[in-house]
Amino acid sequence: MADKVFPSSKPTATAAPGGAAAPTTTTTTTTTNGGTTKSHLINPTARLPYRPQPHNRRRNYRPRRNYCCCCCFWIILIILVLALLVAITGTVLYVLYRPHRPSFTLASLRIHRLKLKTAADSSSSHLSTLFNLTLSSKNPNSHLSFSYDPFVISCVTSNGDVLIGNGTLPAFVSDGKDESTFRGVTVASSSDLDAETVNNLRPELKKGNGVSLKVEMDTKVTAKMGGLKSKKVGIRVTCDGIKGVVPKGKSPAAANVSGAKCKVDLRIKIWKWTF
């Protein structure tokens, strides 16, 4: 029986010139069933295959999002600080100067003409009026002045709000602790009325205790205090509680204004609506 020779599995080193060992190590494996021999080379300088890493898209948006949040925070903070400063300034001015609204007074109202003529066939009616007013304005503030635009005056009935006269008042300036009086302010009307307006006005003219009237004045005013000046603000002055009498003959009739009270209201206009 013949003996079989098995090759050694230990690696064989090949000597290089000069006595140095070669850097490459060869491992040879021989199978017992006559298979092929495989060689495995180990090269420490070989590069590993490139494996792409998953890309996180959210990282690109974080700096931009943080920047927007920071800007919004500072804008809101600045607005709050400005609002606080304005509130503090307004409070200080109010405590120091105690601003008050201007006051108006209707001193007298004389009716020269108040006639309602209706055609024989009742197809049309004509209203003719002529009033004479005396108005006064007072500024109760010491360090605050008011600059008024021209006034638009309307005289209407208190019950039905029927317009019976129009007039104007020139612009003027009311300084601190100043009182202005305007005499001979004319309010007149000459117009045709419809049937509904006539039905509302006729019972008022026939009242024995007089016609209930009110005077409305619309204008814009600017307030000034030292170097500060406000924007123009619309106001309406309403004098209610007037009792007018229809004049007889050519002598004018004096209306009773002892119970008339005038109040000042702000008129704020937003787009098409006025409050």
Domain of residue 157, residue span? 103-266
Q: Is residue 16 scored above 50 in pLDDT?
A: no
Rounded CA gap, 64 and 238, in Å? Answer: 58
And the tokens for 185? 């302010």
pLDDT of residue 154: 95
Q: What is the mean pLDDT of residues 43-66?
A: 59
pLDDT > 90: what percent of the chain? 41
* Domain total of the chain: 2
pLDDT of residue 50: 61
Using DSSP bridges, classify how beta strands 172-174 and 253-254 pair: parallel, antiparallel or unpaired: unpaired
Q: What is the mean pLDDT of residues 177-198?
A: 91
- Residue 84 sits in the same domain as residue 131: no
SS3 for 196?
helix
Q: Is 78 a member of any domain?
A: yes
* CA 238 to each of CA 55, 69, 175, 241, 264: distance values in angstroms, whole numbers, following the listed order: 74, 51, 22, 10, 7
- Residue 171 sits in the same domain as residue 84: no
Q: Is residue 65 scored above 90 in pLDDT?
A: no
Backbone angles phi, psi at 146, to 5 degrees: -120, 135
- Residue 238 sits in the same domain as residue 172: yes
Last residue of a domain, one of 77, 98, 119: 98
- Amino acid 132 reads N
The two most distant CA atoms of the chain are separated, in Å, by 168
Q: What is the mean pLDDT of residues 263-271?
A: 78
72 or 171, higher pLDDT: 171
User: Over the chain, what is the mean pLDDT?
Assistant: 80
Token pair 């109010």: residue: 94
Q: Is 232 a member of any domain?
A: yes
Between 89-98, 102-111, 145-154, 176-185, the lowest mean confidence (pLDDT) is in 89-98
Between 34-38, 76-80, 230-234, the lowest mean confidence (pLDDT) is in 34-38
Q: Is residue 117 scored above 80 in pLDDT?
A: yes
Q: Is 23 a member of any domain?
A: no
- Residue 140 sits in the same domain as residue 245: yes
- Residue 91 sits in the same domain as residue 187: no
Which uninterrupted H or E stretch holds 119? none
- In tens, the pLDDT along 225-264 reads 888 888 999 999 999 999 998 888 888 999 999 989 999 9
- In tens, the pLDDT along 122-157 reads 778 899 999 999 999 999 998 889 999 999 999 999
- Residue 212 sits in the same domain as residue 92: no
Q: What is the mean pLDDT of residues 42-53?
A: 61
Q: What is the mean pLDDT of residues 207-235?
A: 89
In the chain, beta strands by DSSP E: 26-29, 38-41, 103-118, 125-138, 145-148, 151-157, 163-169, 172-174, 179-193, 211-225, 228-229, 233-244, 253-254, 261-267, 269-270, 273-274
- Amino acid 47 reads R
- Amino acid 207 reads K
Residues 6 or more apart from 143 whose CB is under 8 A from it?
97, 176, 225, 226
pLDDT of residue 26: 46
And the tokens for 3? 């003996």
Quick count: other Cβ atoms within 10 Å of Cβ 181? 11
pLDDT band, very low/low/confident/very high, at 172 (cuts 50, 70, 90): very high
CA 199, 205, 206, 211 torsion-angle sign:
positive
Please count the CA atoms within 13 angstroms of the CA of 258 that sit on its side-chain side.
Answer: 2
Q: Is residue 81 scored above 60 in pLDDT?
A: yes
pLDDT of residue 42: 55
- Residue 132 sits in the same domain as residue 241: yes
- Residue 88 sits in the same domain as residue 111: no
- Residue 181 sits in the same domain as residue 223: yes
- Residue 86 sits in the same domain as residue 175: no
* CA 96 to each of CA 29, 99, 143, 144: distance values in angstroms, whole numbers, following the listed order: 106, 9, 10, 12
